[in-house]
Amino acid sequence: MTKPMWAVLALLFAVGLVLGPSVAFAQEQKVKVQVEVVLASNKGTVVDPPELGKMKEAFQKQNFSFTSFKRMSLDTVEVGAQKPTEVKLPNGTNASLQLLGMKDGSATLRVIIPNQSSVEVELGRQGAVYQKAGKHVGGELILVLVPPSK
């Protein structure tokens, strides 16, 4: 190689060292997750909105006998591996979601809820994942995590 070619290669290498981390960060793998916060309680029999009737049935099959289900929030968030995504809960705390990996169309997330153990959940083709998220006004907050849509 000629001397100018070495200079060009050295310059490209130096630029790669400087820009490398930001380029890698820009290509960080992320996944969209629908996050619904539901208040499940035994105060009344309200199921609001009516789509939560499926959740009520699923809970009854598992012997969780809540009679009332009320949606507190519904958002779609983007979850990445570099920095946890915060989800505000009505009890004044935040749940954190972090992407651990993707494999065969399934996302593995770490879910961290204050005063509870962190758990790893797999979002794939099985439908929604329910995660207890703490107490609130005489009931339990439940995070409903829906897998990324294709």
The answer to the question of residue 16 being in a domain is no
The answer to the question of residue 72 being in a domain is yes
- Please give the model's pTM, rounded to 2 decimal places: 0.78
Q: Is 60 helix (H, G, I), strand (E, B) or coil?
A: helix
The total number of structural domains that make up the chain? 1
**Amino acid 24: pLDDT:** 45
C-alpha–C-alpha distance, residues 99 and 82, integer Å = 8
The answer to the question of residue 113 being in a domain is yes
The answer to the question of residue 110 being in a domain is yes
User: Which residues span the domain enclosing 123?
Assistant: 33-144
Contact between residue 20 and residue 123 where contact means Cβ atoms under 8 Å apart: no
The answer to the question of residue 55 being in a domain is yes
Q: For residue range 1-55, what is the model confidence (pLDDT) as tens digits?
A: 444 444 444 434 433 434 444 444 456 789 999 999 999 999 999 999 999 999 9
* Pairing relationship of beta strands 47-48 and 30-41 according to DSSP bridges: unpaired
**Amino acid 17: pLDDT:** 38
* Bond preceding residue 4 cis, omega within 30 of 0: no
The answer to the question of residue 38 being in a domain is yes
The answer to the question of residue 139 being in a domain is yes
Element (H, E) at 23: helix 3-26
The answer to the question of residue 123 being in a domain is yes
C-alpha–C-alpha distance, residues 73 and 84, integer Å = 19
